[in-house]
Each structure stands twice: as structure tokens, then as C-alpha cells.
Structure 1
Amino acid sequence: MTASKSFIVVVAMLCLMATVALAHRPSPSPSPSPKPTVFVFTDVNTDDFMALKLILKYSNVKVGGFVAGCAGFCNMGPGIQNLFGLLKFMDRDDVPVWAGEAYASTEIDSGNYSCTFQKTVPLFPKGKTWADTILGLNQRYPRLTDPQRNYYPGFPQVYEPLRAAIAALDGPVEFLSLGTLTEIDYLFRRYPDLKQRVRRITIMGGAVHVPGNLFFPRGSAPNTVAECNIYLDPHSARNVFVSGVPIRLVPLDATNAFQLSWEFLNEFDDVARTKEAKFVKDLLILIKNNSAATSMYSLWDPLTAAILADHSIIFEEETVNMTVVTSGSQAGRTVIDNVEGKPVQVVLTADPDFYDIFIDKLNRRRRW
């Protein structure tokens, strides 16, 4: 074999080896998805405090801000103070807090502040008093010394600051709604372009295939089909449901499986280690001790927050066209409507181990 032929053979073999090596080279791992920035709309009620502590424990989401909405349970001043207290308690003074609305949208739009829907919420005992004081546990929060991390006259309302915060973000944006949908409705009315920036709204609310959970301060509730968060502002709920923004609904169908029981609370009492876990455990025990034996208090908002952060908790889900009844004896009912409704992902069942997930996450000293 001549030198030139040997050279050609060597080159050919090298090319073949390179081809084989490339063929067997493992594909590069896909780059991790950017973590979403989540803005939380809360009525600052008792289960909200649990959910907010929980969502702040997840490292795969970034909390962009809290919005206090008072069309339901809290009053604005105490609600904002309690949110600042919670954040200081968890060493998270980096999270902004904004004021929402104090009335349902139909009352704001009409100027008739009759509290038509809010009358279902008792002022005392329970109801707003429980929300505003966290059953007395807000005294455990650190004293607020920063004037800007307190409620003050002229406290900023959410709309322009939130629009600016979203405009400054490059990654995905999600909303977590734990109360009424009043503020999200008004946000989309003022800035319709924001609908294109919100990847998903995860909502605690509704009763799809199960009865509602309304209660009245005195007497039985005449409306047995509506869930509280949706009922307290059905017009805004309807507007958001048909807005075209992707929605995942965590209704009573899913949350009813996670009611308070002494078996769960006794287990929680035995293992609570972190300050967040101990706070939530003590709050749940107070609620259980001060509720009627027939009370159906569930982990409504904590389950919803956990589902936003970890979709694997969902066991069964359906997609249906849905809208909301806004008037009459069934106001606030979430209904399947193939004419006017828009697609909504409805969580029907969740991981029965959520009780353990809830405790374990709150017991983590670091976010993970």
C-alpha cells in the first residue's frame, strides 16, 4: 500500500470513529424551565395564612407579591398588617404587599355599597374577627417598625404597581387566587394586554359536582350550590372565567377530602418543628376547638397553593367549559356551559397523602 493510500485509509477511519462517537453522544439535557413568578390574591383569612406560609416554602416558584382583597373576610388595615407580619415572621421582607378592593365589583361599578354578597360573612364571632386577629395568633408576629412595611394612609392599590412588576419580568407569570376574583377582574379591565402575560390562574373556588359551602350568621343558607369565594363576587368570577386566560380550578370537589380531624391534628402536634409549622398547627387546633362538631373546615387554600407549586399532587382532573351564575337563588354557582363557558381545568381529586406533604413542607427549614 502506498503512503497516499495509507493516508486516505487513516482519514476514513478517523471520520468513521468521529461519526460513531457523535451518534452515541448523549443528547444534552433540556435546560430547566424558568421558575414562574406567582402573584397571590388573598382575602387574608385563616386558611390563607397557612397557604401563604406553604407557598413561601417552595423553591420552584418565586412569590412576586401579595394582594389583600377585602370583598370577603378581612378588613383592609388588619389584612395588610397581618401580611406584613407574616412576611417578617418568615424573613421575607422582599415580598411586596398591595391593597385590593373592599367591595364586590358590581357594588363598586354601581356605587350601591349594599354588601349584598358580603352579608354571608359574620362579623363576630368568627368571620371577619377571626381573619383580622388570626384567632389572636397575630400577636406572635414580630413588631413592625419599618413605616413602608405597615399600613398607612395612601397605601398603594395594586393595579399600577402590579402592571409595572409584570412588565419588568422576562419569565412566566402565574396568579394564585385564594379569595374573590375582584382584583384580577379589574386588572384585566384596565390592562387587557396582561391577559397575554399570565400563563395560568390557579383558583380556590367553586363547587362543580358537589354542594356549596355558604353559611349565614343566622339561619341556614338559602343558596346550597355556591362556594364562598365565588359567591362573594360572582360577576368578577364570571368575567375571569370567560377571559380566555388558562384557569385551573381547585373546587370543593377536591378540598372536601382534606377536612380537619383530631387524628391529623394530633399527628401534626407530635411532629411540628419549625416556627411556621408550630404556628399553623396551633391555628388549626384553635379553629377545631372553637368550631361546631359538624363544621366542615378544610385545607382549602393550602391544597390550592400546593397544587400550583407541584402538579403531581393532582390525581384526577377534567377540562370543561365553565361559567358562573351571577344572580338569583343560585348566584355564585360554577356551571358547565358549552355555549358561553370557556375551558377550565377542574381538579377533582388530589393525593390522599397531602396531609403529610403539608406537614413535611412546613417543617422544612429551607425552601426546596
Structure 2
Amino acid sequence: MNRRVVIDTDPGLDDAVAILFALNSGRFDVLGITTVAGNIGLERTTRNAGGLLAQLSLSDIPVISGSSEAMLRTNIDALVIHGSDGLRGVTFPEPLTPPRTGAVAWLAETLVNAPSGSIDILALGPLTNIGRLINEYPEAAARIGRVICMGGTIHEPGNAGPGSEFNFASDPEATAIVLHAAIKCVVIPLDVTRKVRASAAYVEALRVTQAGTVAADLLLAYMQDGKQSRPLHDPCVMLLALAPELFDIEMRRLAVDLSDGADAGALLERSTGQPVSIAMRVDADGALDLLASGFR
């Protein structure tokens, strides 16, 4: 039986590839897509999510817009990577249905109406929606099967500050809430995602199906130097959900930097920190093979 999931996201080029994989692979039962401001503003991330569904002619999966602002901080964005539209000019059809509003309440209702532990959240962006869910609907949040989230870094340099990663830096308070909550959570940091990159030949080889062609267009826009893509951060979330054996997962005691400094949101290894499951190594070739299989 396919695992039932909600995708919480801020698409975003690599987010879009991850979502396409989940929708096209036939290995997930996607109950809904909740959106959050992150790479770009909430209106655009929500529109992009709806466009992805329209690209595959899917009208039965709801898009529910969520948090437009971080819990306590001014939003940051990643326009320099993803462009003002989030997709660097890759176009999608108009959404087939208008988005709903109130992602946090929708998540709570969805979790309460399902068997406890039966729904996973695949978190591709800042953790604001999930942090708010834990604060506002703790009994519903306790019913999450697990959260698999892309964020943070341990040994790698940051991409938001010297030691901080974009998703966690976008809402440090929400990150701390999620990592300290009594729910199962697996973190996939830059230490892993920077090992997974698509070559130009790999990208072109995806053009065997409609979804593969769209993924190739997105990855082409996401190329770093014409030879390989930027790190495939968010697809790693879907890949770990399907094949955890491709990843080495360790338990580390971690705290979150909640200062106002350049490394706000950074993960700090502390003897008094919260035990967190974190992926530290990946079989990159195996991950790329699995990703490609979702577009055949």
C-alpha cells in the first residue's frame, strides 16, 4: 500500500521536481499539498503548486495555502536561485481548481480523521505550517506518522549564513518547535543533498514521459554550470521516504540557534540538545537511479 502523505512546500525548482516525482511515481498517496512562503512569497508558491497538478491533469488533490510569514521574523527568499516566479521561466498551465486557505487547520482535520500514525508530512520548505500545527493543534500533531524534512547542515557550510541552511533559517522558531516535539522526525541536511546532483546527460535522459520532460525542463533551469545541476535538495525527501536504505541516518543531539545573528536557524550539536534523526550520508548514484525511475 502506498504511504499516505501531505507535501508541505514552497515551490521552487527542486521542490517542483520532488513533487512531480511523488505525483508521477505511483508510490505515494498524496492527500494534499500545503504551501508556505519560502523560496518566494505565498501567493506564488501556491500558484506553482496548482500549476504542477494541472500539468499532470490532476484535479482531485487539493492545494491549501498556509503561512505567509515566519512565526517571529521577517521573511527571507531565494529569488537569486529560483527567479521571481520560482521556476526561472518554466511555465505551467493555470491551476484547475482554486486553492483552499487555512493549511494548518486543514492539516489538523486531516490528521484527526485518519488512523493515528498513518500520514507522513514531507516538508520541503520552512517549517512554519508544521510548527503552528504543533502549537495550535497538539493532539492532531501527535497523530503524524513522521515528518521528513529537508533542512540544516552539520559539517557543510551554510547557504543562508556561514553555518545556517535556508529552510531552517527562514523560521528558526518553527524549526525548534518541530525538532523538539514528541513526533518522529528525520532531517536531511546539506551534508547529504549537496552530494546529489544531476548531470546534463541525466537530465536529457528523463525526456521519455510527459512528467519526465517537465522535470528535465525544471532541472535545466536549475543547472549550476551547464554540466551539472545545483544540489537536488528536496527530491531527497521523497527518496528517503521510499528507500531509507540509501541513506545513513544517525541520532544527534541538536539545538537550534535562535539568536538574531547571521547563523539564526543553524543546527548546534550540544550534549544537552534534543535527539534528532539526521541523514549524514547518501548513496548518490542509487538516489539518482530511484529519482529517474519515477519519471519512466
Q: How does 1:1-368 map to 2 (within 5 A)?
A: 35-70=2-37, 72-107=38-73, 115=74, 118=76, 121=77, 123=79, 126-131=81-86, 134-138=87-91, 141-144=92-95, 146=96, 149-151=97-99, 155-170=100-115, 172-214=118-160, 223-260=161-198, 264-288=199-223, 291=224, 297-314=230-247, 316-327=248-259, 328-339=261-272, 341-353=273-285, 354-363=287-296
Change (3 A) 1:35 1:257: same
Contact kept? 2:197, 2:229, Cα under 8 Å: yes
Change (3 A) 1:301 1:130: same
Aligned length: 293
How far apart in 1 are the matches of 2:85 and 2:225? 15
Larger displacement relative to structure 2 (196-205 or 277-286): 277-286
**Per-residue deviation at 1:323?**
2.0
**Per-residue deviation at 1:348?**
1.1
TM-score, normalising length: structure 2: 0.91
**Per-residue deviation at 1:196?**
2.1
**Per-residue deviation at 1:159?**
2.0
Change (3 A) 1:225 1:150: same
Q: Which segments of 5 or more consecutive residues in structure 2 lack a partner in the other structure?
A: none
**Per-residue deviation at 1:237?**
0.3
Task: Return the letter of the residue paired with 2:172.
Answer: P
How far apart in 2 are the matches of 1:286 and 1:240? 32
Q: Deviations over 1:11-36 (max 9, x none)?
A: xxxxxxxxxxxxxxxxxxxxxxx543
Contact kept? 1:66, 1:96, Cα under 8 Å: yes
User: Partner of 1:269: helix, strand, or coil?
Assistant: helix
Change (3 A) 1:164 1:208: same
Larger displacement relative to structure 2 (174-183 or 321-330): 321-330
How far apart in 1 are the matches of 2:147 and 2:78? 28
Of structures 1 and 2, the larger Rg is shown by 1
**Per-residue deviation at 1:161?**
2.0
Q: Deviations over 1:80-101 (max 9, x none)?
A: 2221121122232221111111
CA RMSD between the two structures: 2.2
How far apart in 2 are the matches of 1:331 and 1:159? 24
**Per-residue deviation at 1:44?**
1.3
Contact kept? 1:55, 1:309, Cα under 8 Å: no
Q: Which segments of 5 or more consecutive residues in structure 1 lack a partner in the other structure?
A: 1-33, 108-114, 215-222, 364-368
How far apart in 1 are the matches of 2:54 and 2:271? 46
Contact kept? 1:104, 1:233, Cα under 8 Å: yes
User: Partner of 1:282: helix, strand, or coil?
Assistant: helix
Q: Which has the higher strand share?
A: 2
Contact kept? 1:325, 1:333, Cα under 8 Å: yes
Change (3 A) 1:324 1:357: same
Task: Return the letter of the residue paired with 2:67.
Answer: E
Q: Which has the higher helix share?
A: 1
Q: Deviations over 1:49-89 (max 9, x none)?
A: 0000111234443111111101x212222222221121122
How far apart in 2 are the matches of 1:336 and 1:91? 45
Contact kept? 1:244, 1:342, Cα under 8 Å: no
**Per-residue deviation at 1:355?**
1.8
How far apart in 1 are the matches of 2:94 and 2:178? 37
User: Partner of 2:284: helix, strand, or coil?
Assistant: coil
How far apart in 2 are the matches of 1:295 and 1:234? 31
Q: Deviations over 1:250-294 (max 9, x none)?
A: 10111111134xxx2223314520111111112222232xx5689
Task: Return the letter of the residue paired with 2:4.
Answer: T
Contact kept? 1:46, 1:130, Cα under 8 Å: no
Change (3 A) 1:293 1:360: closer
User: Partner of 1:248: helix, strand, or coil?
Assistant: strand
TM-score, normalising length: structure 1: 0.74
Task: Return the letter of the residue paired with 2:93.
Answer: P
What's the % identity of the aligned pairs?
A: 24
**Per-residue deviation at 1:313?**
2.1
Contact kept? 1:69, 1:183, Cα under 8 Å: yes
**Per-residue deviation at 1:143?**
3.8
How far apart in 2 are the matches of 1:313 and 1:62? 22
